[in-house]
Structure 1
């Protein structure tokens, strides 16, 4: 079995055409807004699925939408599915399924593609209803506001929707998607183009944060969930594994301040697992480690996130 993996291996990438698109929405009436009906399946390592997990907790939607994270390693000999536990028969306690493909097949019986996270699942049917990271977040943020905690600012205010959508697109295009794309290049020119795209955007975001606390002003909005998740994985993985090594995160004073400040917020901290992130990106599967490329690095010093 090949152990090759990239940053988008587990996730639903908007930039990639999928064999089957599951995109039912609340805004169109395809899905009903009903508390305790939906289940968000994600992965603690995934830069695409983690923003939604953080948003659900930050807004208080975790009181009406349940969450479950998949086992972070591919099971030995199975490179095209995700399990809910270390053992083949471990179940998600709400779904009563053992692997994510079972829930895709409850929606599309002939589903044969690689299941990805995040996956929003209807607990009444057990089927996946939406597997687009961005769709799920904007749909929840735009249509479930009456279930937000009363002390939380609106993360997707109507007055900023156009600007927020534009910022989301910039971050996803220039930051979130680049590590996955860069790991598949086959030329120096393509690598350098993506490299420059990534660091040009970091430069602009660092300058933007020089005189404001968060990306859109004085409180957290949707783009902050996307950016912080990628910044956490930058020094930890992408700097080394994806050769994105022009600067380290702490060489961007405003981004470094911002990322650490967000990390102190419970919703960000409790959905960040540094060990699982390294485990997935370097070890990949639970096959025995027999080569240096699958050894999990000890560093960097994670205590710096507490400073």
Structure 2
């Protein structure tokens, strides 16, 4: 089928033109039980790209908890390689090859794991370095594993991002944030019908309006301290004005039009682990100049000059909503 034919439909688009994200194939949990993945320092390599919000939140948690020397990090380029299929490339490394796994493309390690794998090779992916296979690409649960069963390797005085007494509430809010916000922007951007786009658009901004109200009386989503839910919401908010507003047509409001969400996002950005893992240039390059789920997209790629990103370091004044000096709950 020709690249410019109107009726070409990528795999993850349903009959109504809506985006349906593929399932994660490798979802074995980490833990101490026989059927679980063993928690061992130096055994795994986390593959990511700084453009991907799902991968970014894993890297934020890895940084906050001090797991950098426990789980190594492999970084893929923000630009997709020009291949007949969607992939990630390790072109940032010397000779374009990941120095630990010896792979040029992400698909190689997926194919080593399952030679019949036919989905998009996604990030984040936890790879068992010894066995040379992907063991977990479940972005929805990965941060929770890092926060719980990886606790023996946390740095001294590591914060509790997933307090046991709040887990049920955190899980419920995470589910809402995922469907309407994290994945909601993708439902807008990848829709192939006006109806599907507008449905996703309305759900996205209805949820952002609710979160704006919630954050009018709380510094963070659950009060005085940062939790796993804040990490997940931040990963989308950090990309909103620089990418989603234009590339995904989520253009009812900019993030900076929401006083509380904007102050909240800057509060997190100025916290170690958040801003220092946020690469706005790579984010802009990927969403505006690279392919996404459709390798047949041959439209000209233009990198927008804006928006002004220096404003992320301006005062946020969110401390007034909390009587706590620290942002993290330390058990």
Rg larger in structure: 2
Report the secondary structure of 2:47's partner residue.
Answer: strand
Shift of 1:86: 5.1
Shift of 1:267: 0.9
Shift of 1:127: 0.6
C-alpha contact (below 8 Å) 1:38/1:66 kept by paired residues: yes
Shift of 1:118: 0.8
Shift of 1:282: 0.8
C-alpha contact (below 8 Å) 1:40/1:65 kept by paired residues: yes
Pairing 1:232–2:234 present: no
Worse-matched range after superposition: 46-55 or 106-115:
106-115
Q: Counterparts of 1:42 and 1:262 in 2: how far apart (Å)?
A: 21
Shift of 1:189: 2.9
Out of 275, 288, 295, the residue aligned to residue 302 of structure 2 is 295
TM-score (norm. length: structure 1): 0.88
Q: CA RMSD in A?
A: 2.6
Counterpart position of 2:30: 26
Counterpart position of 1:198: 204
Counterpart position of 1:280: 286
* Cα distance per residue 1:254-282 (max 9 Å; x no partner): 11111001111121112111110010111
Shift of 1:73: 1.0
Counterpart position of 1:174: 180
C-alpha contact (below 8 Å) 1:106/1:125 kept by paired residues: no
Give the 3 Å change call, closer, same or farther, for CA 304–193 of structure 1 in structure 2.
same
C-alpha contact (below 8 Å) 2:256/2:262 kept by paired residues: yes
Q: Counterparts of 2:193 and 2:118 in 1: how far apart (Å)?
A: 32
Counterpart position of 1:304: 311
How many residues are aligned here?
Answer: 296
Pairing 1:124–2:158 present: no
Q: Counterparts of 2:114 and 2:71 in 1: how far apart (Å)?
A: 23
Q: Counterparts of 2:107 and 2:94 in 1: how far apart (Å)?
A: 13
Q: Counterparts of 2:68 and 2:92 in 1: how far apart (Å)?
A: 25
1:116-265 correspondence to structure 2 within 5 Å:
116-265=122-271
C-alpha contact (below 8 Å) 2:87/2:120 kept by paired residues: yes
C-alpha contact (below 8 Å) 2:22/2:119 kept by paired residues: no
* Cα distance per residue 1:114-143 (max 9 Å; x no partner): 211110111111210011101211222121
Report the secondary structure of 1:227's partner residue.
Answer: helix
What residue ranges of structure 2 are gaps of 5+ in the alignment?
Answer: 14-19, 315-331
C-alpha contact (below 8 Å) 1:42/1:119 kept by paired residues: yes
TM-score (norm. length: structure 2): 0.82
